[in-house]
């Protein structure tokens, strides 16, 4: 890395308010050529907003931006691209119904439209993928690709536009472990080519793994910029939360809370090719963890139990009674709730108020005993907002204006509010900050302690090991192992079981 060169990007004294709400306060941030600079902070701290200013999506109120030492005004996304600033992942910018090649060369520039559908576009896309050392068929529609390849397509798109700076906003939130490894290797190659990378993440292990420096924002102010060689994880966490944080991932034995009563009994459940003859039992008070690789059938299993996917065989019994669950509505009526993995697509109406989103599944309950009053909706919403520490300027604000992590809290709060007998959660802590994560895990325990049953999917094994009483390992749509928590000595053991080696 040249030490005398100007930073690829430098932001000085950036200020930004939304209405009366100051979101960025005098923030300095820079990233050098060939550097990975991690950006961390609680949900709502201002990370995405700072990067959206760099991309021309939002305008700063004050401050300066320099690209390779020269001051620039980034008035819109077009100007950002011209300055060599590439895309973000927290919200995808791809058009699913177009092909990979079309997306890679799709820009706002009308002159480039000529390229689309051209075999030349396909060829150039192939060339970029070759340079990235990844394999994607440019003629495929984006919607037919797994999420991991959407990201690679976004990176290719940025490189096609000659980006010198790439902004990655929680790129691994939806990736399986081996896919994340692929991304890290790609980041190394991009660094070696002199690309500067801003890496937003809530995962400490990743930050240490790939970043050179870290900047922490708290409540819109910069509270730390350090080389990762000279800072401990404890110091980073303290900067993020502003106080000493305790370790929350220890396993607590809950065997005294689990009863003999079987609440859910699934026998030989099949749904399409991805779920075959799955049998399981969940007891009252129990937390059952589901482990497995991407595509192992974890999401398909909870979707089948929630009536999203139609089972093609097998039986589901709740409290001993056999049920046909053919829709989510029916599942909810029978006391089953699912907090889905793709929360932004399935869980929220982004244009509606936080209050409406929080109380949507509760409308019947709130209506009971008379008219549905706005007062009741507001009171219930405020209760959930308080419980989850959701950062919203006011309860009636659009959900779409909340930070990514706070949107996730809204979905979780919404489903917990329904008071289900059986709560299923698919990756509930992806994208939420460290403090909130331990709050969610503690809440999962409390829910089970109160006599409910929980089924939890998580790709973060320390988290799964911390709360699960039993873990089912799925592989290729089948249960490959059922392990009591005390049969699992450590994370490596579970990792091997998931890979199918143990
Ligand atoms: N378009 C908008 N209108 C109003 N407020 C907004 C808008 N975009 C962001 N905010 C507010 O700015 C603050 C910072 O949000 P931002 O998205 O930058 O947080 P973040 O650090 O990226 O959090 P997360 O980790 O949850 O993604 C939040 O309080 C959010 O509600
Ligand atoms: Mg964000």
User: Which residue has the least CA distance to atom 1 on ligand 1?
Assistant: 401
Please state the atom number of ligand 1 nearest to the C-alpha of residue 90: 27
Q: To test the ligand 1 pocket, which listed residue (49, 174, 393) has its Cβ within 8 A of the most ligand atoms? A: 49
∠156-160-165 over CA atoms, to 5°? Answer: 80
Residue 405 CA to ligand 2 centre (angstroms): 7
Give 303-331 pLDDT, tens digit per residue. 999 998 888 999 999 999 999 888 888 89
Contact 62, 14 (CB under 8 A): yes
Location of structure tokens 């409390």: 446
**Pairing between β-strand 321-323 and β-strand 422-426 as defined by DSSP bridges:** unpaired
Residue 10 CA to ligand 1 centre (angstroms): 21
**Pairing between β-strand 36-40 and β-strand 213-218 as defined by DSSP bridges:** parallel
pLDDT at 110 (0 to 100): 41
Please state the atom number of ligand 1 nearest to the C-alpha of residue 45: 21
What are residue 62's phi and psi, to 5 degrees? -155, 165
Residue 403 CA to ligand 1 centre (angstroms): 4
pLDDT at 14 (0 to 100): 98
State if residue 435 touches ligand 1 by the CB under 6 angstroms criterion.
no
Residue 48 CA to ligand 2 centre (angstroms): 4
pLDDT at 3 (0 to 100): 47
Instruction: Region of 501 please: left (phi>0), alpha (psi -120 to 50) or beta.
Output: alpha
- Residue 225 burial by Cβ neighbours in a 10 Å radius (0-12, 13-18, 19+): middle
Contacts of 253 (CB under 8 A, 6+ apart): none
pLDDT at 238 (0 to 100): 87
Give the span between the Cα atoms of 419 and 184, in whole angstroms. 40
Mean pLDDT per 10-residue segment, the chain (502 residues): 74 95 96 97 92 94 96 93 80 82 70 58 88 88 84 86 88 76 90 94 91 96 97 90 66 91 96 91 97 88 92 93 89 89 70 88 68 79 86 89 85 80 90 80 88 92 93 94 94 88 54
pLDDT at 289 (0 to 100): 97
Location of structure tokens 């220890």: 250
pLDDT at 362 (0 to 100): 73
State if residue 389 touches ligand 1 by the CB under 6 angstroms criterion.
no
- Find the radius of gyration of the CA atoms of the chain: 24
Contacts of 126 (CB under 8 A, 6+ apart): 138
> Among 431, 419, 352, which Cα is nearest to 392's?
352
Q: Where are the domains of the chain?
A: 9-241, 246-335+421-430+453-502, 343-419
pLDDT at 108 (0 to 100): 44
Contact 121, 115 (CB under 8 A): yes
∠7-154-57 over CA atoms, to 5°? Answer: 65
Task: With H, G, I as helix, E, B as strand and everything else as coil, classify residue 45.
Answer: coil
Task: List, as ranges, residues with CB under 5 A of the ion ligand 2.
Answer: 48, 403-404
pLDDT at 371 (0 to 100): 64
State if residue 391 touches ligand 1 by the CB under 6 angstroms criterion.
yes
Q: To test the ligand 1 pocket, which listed residue (18, 403, 404) has its Cβ within 8 A of the most ligand atoms? A: 403
Contact 216, 240 (CB under 8 A): yes
Give the span between the Cα atoms of 125 and 487, in whole angstroms. 49
Q: Find residue 455's DSSP bridge partners.
A: 288, 424
Q: Topology of 246-335+421-430+453-502 in CATH?
A: Rossmann fold (3.40.50)
Task: With H, G, I as helix, E, B as strand and everything else as coil, classify residue 24.
Answer: strand
Four-way CATH pick for 9-241: 3.30.2130.30, 3.10.20.30, 3.30.70.1400, 3.40.50.300: 3.40.50.300
What are residue 356's phi and psi, to 5 degrees? -65, -40
pLDDT at 501 (0 to 100): 58
């Amino acid at each position: 890395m040249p030490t005398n060169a100007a930073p690829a990007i430098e932001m000085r004294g950036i200020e930004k308010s939304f209405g009366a709400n100051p979101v960025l306060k005098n923030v300095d941030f820079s990233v050098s050529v060939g550097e990975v600079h991690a950006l961390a902070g609680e949900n709502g701290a201002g990370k995405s907003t700072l990067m959206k200013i760099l991309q021309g999506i939002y305008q700063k109120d004050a401050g300066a931006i320099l690209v390779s030492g020269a001051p620039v005004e980034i008035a819109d996304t077009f100007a950002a691209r011209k300055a060599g600033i590439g895309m973000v992942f927290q919200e995808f910018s791809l058009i699913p119904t177009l092909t990979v090649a079309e997306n890679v060369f799709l820009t706002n520039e009308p002159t480039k439209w000529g390229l689309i559908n051209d075999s030349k576009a396909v060829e150039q896309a192939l060339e970029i993928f070759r340079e990235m050392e990844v394999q994607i068929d440019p003629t495929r529609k984006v919607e037919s690709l797994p999420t991991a390849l959407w990201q690679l397509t976004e990176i290719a798109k940025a490189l096609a536009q000659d980006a010198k700076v790439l902004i990655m906003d929680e790129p691994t939130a939806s990736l399986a472990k081996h896919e994340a490894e692929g991304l890290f290797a790609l980041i190394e190659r991009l660094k070696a080519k002199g690309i500067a990378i801003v890496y937003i993440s809530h995962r400490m292990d990743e930050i240490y793994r790939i970043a050179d420096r870290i900047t922490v924002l708290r409540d819109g102010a910069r509270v730390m910029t350090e080389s990762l060689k000279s800072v401990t994880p404890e110091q980073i966490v303290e900067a993020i939360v502003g106080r000493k944080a305790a370790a929350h991932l220890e396993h607590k034995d809950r065997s005294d809370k689990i009863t003999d009563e079987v609440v859910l009994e699934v026998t030989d459940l099949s749904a399409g090719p991805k779920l075959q003859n799955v049998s399981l039992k969940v007891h009252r008070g129990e937390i059952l963890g589901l482990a497995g690789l991407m595509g192992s059938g974890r999401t398909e299993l909870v979707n089948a139990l929630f009536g999203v996917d139609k089972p093609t065989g097998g039986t589901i019994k709740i409290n001993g009674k056999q049920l046909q669950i053919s829709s989510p509505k029916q599942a909810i009526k029978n006391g089953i709730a699912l907090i889905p993995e793709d929360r932004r697509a399935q869980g929220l109406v982004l244009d509606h108020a936080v209050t409406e989103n929080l109380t949507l599944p509760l409308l019947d309950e709130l209506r009971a005993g008379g008219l549905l009053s706005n007062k009741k909706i507001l009171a219930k919403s405020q209760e959930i907002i308080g419980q989850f520490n959701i950062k919203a300027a006011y309860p009636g604000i659009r959900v779409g204006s909340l930070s990514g992590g706070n949107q996730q809290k809204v979905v979780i709060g919404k489903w917990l509010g329904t008071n289900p007998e059986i709560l299923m959660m698919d990756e509930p802590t992806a994208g939420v900050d460290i403090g909130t994560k331990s709050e969610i895990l503690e809440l999962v325990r409390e829910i089970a302690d109160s006599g409910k049953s929980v089924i939890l999917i998580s790709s973060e094994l320390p988290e799964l090991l911390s709360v699960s009483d039993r873990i089912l390992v799925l592989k290729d749509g089948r249960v490959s192992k059922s392990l009591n928590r005390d049969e699992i000595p450590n994370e490596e053991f579970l990792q091997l079981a998931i890979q199918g080696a143990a």
